[in-house]
Amino acid sequence: MRVLITGGAGYFGSHTAKALARAGGPLVEADLSDRHALKQAIQPHNVGAAIHFATHAYVGESVYEPAATFTTTPPIRSTF
């Protein structure tokens, strides 16, 4: 199964992306807010799962200010 990783620039995301790349997954860089780019990344690779490595360390931030989390996710550096 091919896995889409989003927001994988931190410690856990980068190691997960490296492991999937070693297994033969291609790297696709795109912005999550760009629907066309996201569609172009998902469809040709037959993605069956997604892992999102969020940019905020504290879950409470998304509860108190949920709108702030919509625009803070960095561009995806994804491996399938």
> Is the residue at 73 inside a domain?
no
| Those residues with Cβ within 8 angstroms of residue 2's Cβ, 6 or more apart along the chain or in another chain | 25, 45, 46, 47, 48, 49, 80
* Separation of alpha carbons 15 and 11, rounded Å: 6
**Predicted TM-score of the model (pTM):** 0.61
> Is the residue at 3 inside a domain?
yes
| Predicted pLDDT at 24 | 86
Of 15, 44, 16, whose CA–CA distance to 30 is shortest?
A: 44
> Is the residue at 76 inside a domain?
no
Number of domains in the chain: 1
Residue 65 has pLDDT above 60, yes or no: yes
> Is the residue at 48 inside a domain?
yes
Domain around 34: 1-56
pLDDT digits (tens, 9 = 90+) for 3-53: 888 876 678 888 888 888 898 888 887 877 788 988 888 888 888 888 888
